[in-house]
Structure 1
Amino acid sequence: MERPEKNPLKIIWKVKSDILPTSVWILWVLSILALTILTFAIPDNIVKVNFTVLSTTSFITISVSALAFTIAMYSFGREVYSEEDLARLYSSDQQVYYGFLADYLFSALSWSVVIVFSVLKLMLSVNLPEWAMNLIRILYLAQIILASVATIAVVVKNMSRVTNKIFIKSVQISQSQKDTNEE
């Protein structure tokens, strides 16, 4: 048996197709396209995208809080599965095991990218044309949306895992009660 992968980027890469549903990726790309069209193709007197809401300092605070939340969700997930459960999962289906880890890693990575963008925005003063700055703002906002969706996906998947674990346990309890009654 091969040793488990420890590199977070490789873990995410191994299960990249399972991190978020295809429909979420499509909606994310469509939101980027919509923002781009609203920013560059629609005249400002009809619709003006207000990028001043992208306060760098507030997104640093939000990102750090989201990273802490992701760690808390990982702890919650670890409470659902014992070490034995995870070892059994790894030995039977590594893809599912890596998917479990990748959910948290992807969310943390996404928020880390937001933090890096935010810190760079505070540190660097760049003189680019307005269209280039707007394009960077669109990418920054898209990253924030992706990180938020990834965090929500972690919560949903954790709730699903808990439900599945409770169902399996309830079946075991029912079976043991049935076996006890038959004796």
Structure 2
Amino acid sequence: MNFIKKTRFSFAFRLLPFAFLLFAFTSCDYSRKTTGWQYFDDMVESSAYETYTPNPNFADGKTMQPPVAGTIPRGMIPYPYQKTDEDRALAAQSLVNDVPLTEDNLARGKKQYGIYCAQCHGDKGDGQGQLYVRKKYTYPPASLLSEKMLANPEADIYHVITVGYGIMAAHGSMISPDDRWMISMYIKNELQK
């Protein structure tokens, strides 16, 4: 009986390379004109609706739906002030900068100022940015070195960056709240010295 088990094992062991070769030759397709077999159709052909395609699941027939009313995206803090003179004065009095005044934060503020502000307000904050100097922007940007701006607190600059002022567009959607504070700190502590 022991001899029979050994014989079966040795026979199966001898067939193993042939079985492997048979499997290898039958499982591989050497035709470069076909991608092979497709086992899971839902992995290749998406059953999801594309963004701008019609969708019968919604009453308006659109796939792309607006956010649910009253919801706030994760990571976004609603800004309670509008682009009015009254709200600008209120924001200047009530907003408090929680970002500490450090060399790293001033350096970050300088970098962000160079990205978002310098093309209009100039590297020195004098309103002589490249867009105005090269006549690409016909209306003169505000000088951040004027007496009015020197008297305004950081919170006023933060508010103006967030919602804009006059013809200046709002940058709140492009610049994070901390970066807006760092830009304000840079203007008050470096440019306006």
Question: Does the TM-score normalized on the shorter chain lie above 0.5?
Answer: no
TM-score, structure 2 normalization: 0.21
Which one has a larger percent helix, Structure 1 or Structure 2?
A: 1
Q: Say which one has the larger Rg.
A: 2
Relative contact order higher in (CA < 8 Å, ≥ 6 apart): 1
